[in-house]
Every structure is written in C-alpha cells, then in structure tokens.
C-alpha cells in the first residue's frame, strides 16, 4: 500500500530556531515529491523534488530528497512567527496519483 | 491573475442528500484535480481531469463523480451523502500536462448532519 509518513506531527519552537521536518514514503512508480505550506485553507507550493541529493532552496527554506532511503527533509532556518503553519509532503506515484502525508503542524512562538 | 476559485465556501447538507462543488482553474490551466481533506489529515486525491477527460482516480466510492467543462472549470458531485463526507474539498489546477506544480483553491467546507 502506498503511503507517506511525516514526522513530527507537531512542533513548537521559538523565533530564530532552526527546524527540520521529515517525510518518508513507500510508493510504487515514484515520480516526484512535493512540499506545501498550509496556513488556513489552500496549500501553497514550496518545492518539487525529483532527483536525489540536489538541494532546493528558497530563502530560509530548503529541501532535499534521498531516493535510496525514500525520504525527504524540509529545513527552515531562523524561524519567524509567519512560518507557523501545517507543512504537507506529497508524493506523485505513477501518473496522476498523489499521496499526501498527514502534515507537520509548526508553531513558532515570538 | 485570479487564482483558483471554488464555490460555495461553506455548505451544510443532511445525510442522503446530493452536493455539487464547483472549481474554476487559473486562466490557461487545463488540468484540475480534486482532493478531500478531513480535519487533522492530509488531502486525499479524488480525481484529476485534463482536457475534459478523467486522467486519475483515487480510492473513493462511486458516489463521487466529477466532470470538466470546455472552459476547463470542473464540478465534483457527491451522492447519498454520509456523515464521513464532512471535509474540506480542495481543487487544484495546473498547466497542460504539468500537474506537478499545482495551485490550490481556498476549498469548500462541507458539513453533513
């Protein structure tokens, strides 16, 4: 059965801390792994990863994929209160099939 | 440009009723996907449509159906509603064939009583 597991389920940190969010997966016909940020309703796209070992970076956020060990991490440095959200990991397995994890709820305290 | 729009924003129905949810993709996007997100869970894939054809289907019963119109807008229909259908229904659009980078709408919150 295809599955995507995220950890931790929730995290509370202070502003300025660095956090690492984890996503492991077991899917057939892996095509890509995606990270989203969900604040109120609509998830917003962060990264798409298809190749192992190549870091994607956007400001204080970065992500990397390990296709051998079947996981990805999302790093956020110098966290701010605006980073508080649910971070979702999704895997595209085969054509047109997307599996999401349950998400990691991040709370950044001033 | 306007983002993905969905209507209605909220909806309350009773068990056994039928519901239709609507989605308008970003201009120029030909692919639309539907997801169900139950509170505390990640979105679950229901359907993907591209050029008015169903290209993907998740593990949902036949009570769930969808269609895409010539203008690429889409409807999700759910028949014989159950309490467990209460969820946030998200629509996402992407450019032709490039469905990896999806842009989500604000969702429709469906409550079944």
pLDDT in tens, B54-101: 988 888 999 999 999 999 999 999 999 999 999 999 999 987 655 467
Q: Give the whole-angstrom CA distance, residue A73 versus residue A87.
A: 11
pLDDT of residue B86: 97
Each residue's pLDDT tens digit, B10-27: 999 999 999 999 999 999
Q: Is residue B25 within 8 angstroms of chain A, CB to CB?
A: no
What is the per-residue pLDDT across B26-46, written as a single tens digit (0 to 9) for each? 998 988 999 999 988 999 999
Structure token digits, residue B78: 């759910």
Count CB neighbours of B56 within 10 A: 18
Which pair of structure tokens corresponds to residue A33? 């792994």
Note the helical H segments in A24-96: none
The answer to whether the CB atoms of B33 and A98 lie below 8 A apart is yes
Q: Name the residue among A42, A95, A103 with its Cβ closest to that of B104.
A: A42
Q: Burial code of B13-24, b = ≥16 C-beta within 10 A, e = fewer?
A: beeeeebebbbb
* Token code pair at residue A106: 């991040």
Verify whether the Cβ–Cβ distance A96 to B102 is below 8 Å: no
Residues A65-92: what's their mean pLDDT? 96
**Is-contact B42 A90, C-beta < 8 A?**
yes
Q: A93 — contact with chain B (CB < 8 Å)?
A: no
**Among B33, B100, B105, whose Cβ lies nearest the Cβ of A34?**
B100
Beta strands in B2-107 (DSSP E): 5-7, 10-13, 19-24, 31-37, 44-50, 53-57, 64-68, 74-78, 87-94, 103-104
Number of helices and strands in chain B (H, E): 0, 11
Pairing of strands B108-112, B10-13: parallel
Rounded distance between C-alpha atoms, residue B8 and residue A95, angstroms: 30
Q: Which residue of A has its CA nearest to B104?
A: A42
Query: How many Cβ atoms sit within 10 Å of the Cβ of residue A28?
Result: 9
Point out the residue among A32, A36, A97 whose CB comes nearest to the CB of B45. A97
pLDDT at B98 (0 to 100)? 52
Mutate to test the interface with A, among B42, B94, B106 (most CBs of A within 10 A): B42
- A6 vs B contacts (CB less than 8 Å): 42
């Amino acid at each position: 059965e295809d599955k995507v597991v995220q950890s931790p389920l929730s995290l509370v940190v202070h502003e300025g801390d660095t956090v690492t969010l984890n996503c492991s997966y077991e899917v057939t016909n892996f095509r890509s792994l995606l990270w989203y940020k969900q604040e109120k309703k609509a998830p917003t796209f962060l990264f798409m990863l298809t190749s192992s070992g190549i870091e994607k970076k956007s400001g204080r956020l970065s992500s990397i994929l390990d296709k051998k060990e079947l996981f990805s991490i999302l790093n956020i440095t110098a966290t701010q209160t605006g980073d508080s959200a649910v971070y979702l990991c999704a895997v595209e397995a085969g054509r047109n099939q997307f599996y999401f994890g349950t998400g990691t709820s991040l709370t950044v305290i001033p | 440009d306007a983002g993905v729009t969905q209507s209605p924003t909220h909806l309350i129905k009773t068990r056994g009723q039928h519901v239709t949810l609507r989605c308008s993709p970003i201009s120029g996007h030909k692919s639309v996907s539907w997801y169900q997100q139950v509170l505390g869970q990640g979105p679950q894939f229901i359907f993907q449509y591209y050029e008015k054809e169903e290209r993907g289907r998740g593990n949902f019963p036949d009570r769930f159906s969808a269609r895409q119109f010539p203008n690429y807008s889409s409807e999700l229909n759910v028949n014989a509603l159950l309490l467990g259908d209460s969820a946030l229904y998200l629509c996402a659009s992407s450019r032709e064939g490039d469905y990896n980078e999806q842009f989500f709408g604000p969702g429709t919150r469906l409550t079944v009583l």
